[in-house]
Amino acid sequence: MITRRDLFKVAGVGAVALVAAPGAVSQSFGAKPKKISIEDALKEHLGVGLSGLKESNLINVKAPTIAESGANVPVQVSANIPVDQVQALYIFADANFNPWITTVEFSPMNGEVFFATRIKLAKTSPVRAVIKMKDGSLLTASKEVKVTVGGCG
């Protein structure tokens, strides 16, 4: 089992290139922000929508079934695919205001396709991993994470 401490070691050595979601900063002032659909988010980052992705059981998305806090959901993606065939990993949360979470580019130096992080979930949503292969194909797997109201029931 890989612990978070191990992961930091790996990340330090293997130089995972990571582009984090810019969040609210990118919203232009004054304009009313609009919920971006998963379809639009996929098109923006990958050029195709859900129908352009192929479901794959080579990808394993590990996340809690019910989040302990929507503000801090541990997500771990690994794939049983040789790393030199992989260009990048994308993570989306379908129901988030802006579904795109992050893009991680891989190099053979990473050794394997493995990435763990914490994400924010606005509400119950599939957490979707998309792997862009070097041959251009797009593989996906997802796991539903439930965010419960809590605290006022």
137 is an interface residue for another protein by CB under 8 A:
no
Give the residue, chosen from 12, 30, 136, 153, that forms a contact with another protein under the rule CB under 8 A: 153
84 is an interface residue for another protein by CB under 8 A:
no
12 is an interface residue for another protein by CB under 8 A:
no
CA distance 139 to 28: 33
Give the residue, chosen from 66, 82, 108, 137, that forms a contact with another protein under the rule CB under 8 A: 66
30 is an interface residue for another protein by CB under 8 A:
no
149 is an interface residue for another protein by CB under 8 A:
yes
Beta-strand relationship, 17-20 and 73-79: unpaired
CA distance 124 to 66: 9
3 is an interface residue for another protein by CB under 8 A:
yes
**Binding piece for another protein, criterion CB under 8 A, among 9-17, 26-34, 58-66, 132-140:** 58-66
Strand partners, 119: 73
- Both tokens of 78, joined, read 């690994």
Task: Kindly list the strands in the beta sheet with 138-145, ordered across the sheet, starting from the edge strand earlier in the chain.
Answer: 17-20, 100-105, 86-93, 125-133, 138-145, 54-55
- Both tokens of 29, joined, read 């002032």
Residues found near another protein in the complex (CB under 8 A): 1, 3-5, 62, 64-66, 68-69, 74, 124, 144, 146, 148-153
